Amino acid sequence: MLDFINRVLGRESGGSKEIAKERLRLVLVHDRASVSPQLLQALKTDLIQVISKYMDIDEKAMEVTLDSNERQVALVASIPVKSMKRATRTPAVSI
């Protein structure tokens, strides 16, 4: 009910101002971490390749971002899992 009233009065929390602030925050995080968009895309591709060995994932819905505070940068990945794979590939061991 409160959400409805906020929308009617124009106080919606997901407005363009908040979206713009979030986009700017992401740009600043990437800048501070010295990570190019190409490097982030390469990392996402590698993650897909490794995780796909064990799970069926929704690659199109996958999100990989960097988040930071004053002291550190964190890699944050949201990877929707469709299903787990039963058999895993084990590396051949030679004796």
Query: Tens of pLDDT along 5-46?
Result: 555 555 555 578 887 877 777 666 666 667 777 888 888 899
Q: What's the domain range around 44?
A: 2-84
Instruction: List beta partners, residue 77.
Output: 64
Instruction: List beta partners, residue 76.
Output: 65
Residue 24 lies in a domain: yes
Percent of the chain beyond pLDDT 90?
23
Residue 91 lies in a domain: no
Residue 90 lies in a domain: no
Q: CB of 73 within 8 A of CB of 33? A: yes
Residue 55 lies in a domain: yes
What does the pLDDT average to over 54-64?
91
Residue 60 lies in a domain: yes
What does the pLDDT average to over 78-91?
80
Residue 36 lies in a domain: yes
- Hey, what are 60's tokens? 């199109």
Q: What is the pLDDT of residue 14?
A: 59
Answering whether pTM is above 0.75, one says: no
Residue 11 lies in a domain: yes
If one counts the domains in the chain, the total is 1
- Give the span between the Cα atoms of 79 and 64, in whole angstroms: 8
